[in-house]
Amino acid sequence: MGIHPLINFRAPVMFEEAAVRELCCLARRGYEAKFKKETFGFLFGTLSRDNHITIRRCLYYRGGEKSRTGVTFKDWSTITRLVRRRQELARRLRMRFLGNFHSHVEIAGEVFRGLSQEDRESFLYDPRAIIETIVFVWGGPFKANRSISGAIVGFEPKTSYNYRIRVYAKRRNGIRQVRAKVIPSGVVVIY
């Protein structure tokens, strides 16, 4: 089966800062859960007339079986429920559903840095998902290299957790990572 690039949007994908914080917070909760868990949810925002995507909200979804290595939806009725739920949320928020997100958590010092086969398949066969977003979370000293990767990078001094957010799109030549950026809010909060 071929890939359907429904929308040829332009990179970078822009994230509101609040959405980035929410993604990191959800990834952290899963990371701190017993035996660790991946998180999962939906991305909402806008697609402008000139094909730019802005992510404004990230909402956690309770459905699905979450483990430290994946999130699974066991049958068609759970998938139907998921699709119905995100449509309902999009209507309520008056935003567009843009894709799903999940996390990859560090296990025994390693974090899986790409898309798994399951990740690729679920993204490919979800025609409404324009993008797929993964938040990688691991502990340890902060080393940033955002300029190379096109990812959004975060660090939490209190916990020493590192976060990296990567966005993937369906392109003609397959699933590709696309650049992601945070919209500068103009306000720096001092704690």
Cα–Cα distance list, 140 to 81, 106, 148, 155, 157 (Å) = 38, 11, 20, 10, 10
CA 160, CA 190: separation in Å to the nearest integer?
19
Q: How far is the CB of 122 from Zn ion (least distance, A)?
A: 9
Q: List the interface residues with Zn ion, window 68-107 (CB under 5 A).
A: none
Q: How far is the CB of 177 from Zn ion (least distance, A)?
A: 14
CA 175, CA 169: separation in Å to the nearest integer?
6
Q: How far is the CB of 43 from Zn ion (least distance, A)?
A: 15
Q: How far is the CB of 112 from Zn ion (least distance, A)?
A: 7
CA 89, CA 85: separation in Å to the nearest integer?
6
Q: In this structure, are strands 96-105 and 40-47 parallel, antiparallel, or unpaired?
A: antiparallel
Contacts of 108 (CB under 8 A, 6+ apart): none
Q: How far is the CB of 119 from Zn ion (least distance, A)?
A: 4
Q: How far is the CB of 48 from Zn ion (least distance, A)?
A: 28
Q: Count residues contacting Zn ion (CB under 5 A)?
A: 2
Nearer residue to Zn ion within complex by CB, 95 or 106:
106
Nearer residue to Zn ion within complex by CB, 45 or 70:
70
Mapped onto helix, strand or coil, the DSSP state of residue 176 is: strand
- Binding string to Zn ion for residues 101 to 140, with x set by CB under 5 A, is what? ---------------x--x---------------------
CA 42, CA 67: separation in Å to the nearest integer?
18
Nearer residue to Zn ion within complex by CB, 20 or 135:
135
Nearer residue to Zn ion within complex by CB, 36 or 52:
36
Mapped onto helix, strand or coil, the DSSP state of residue 137 is: strand
Nearer residue to Zn ion within complex by CB, 100 or 162:
100
Closest among 56, 128, 124 to 87, alpha carbons compared = 128
Nearer residue to Zn ion within complex by CB, 22 or 119:
119
Site residues (CB under 5 A) for Zn ion?
A: 116, 119
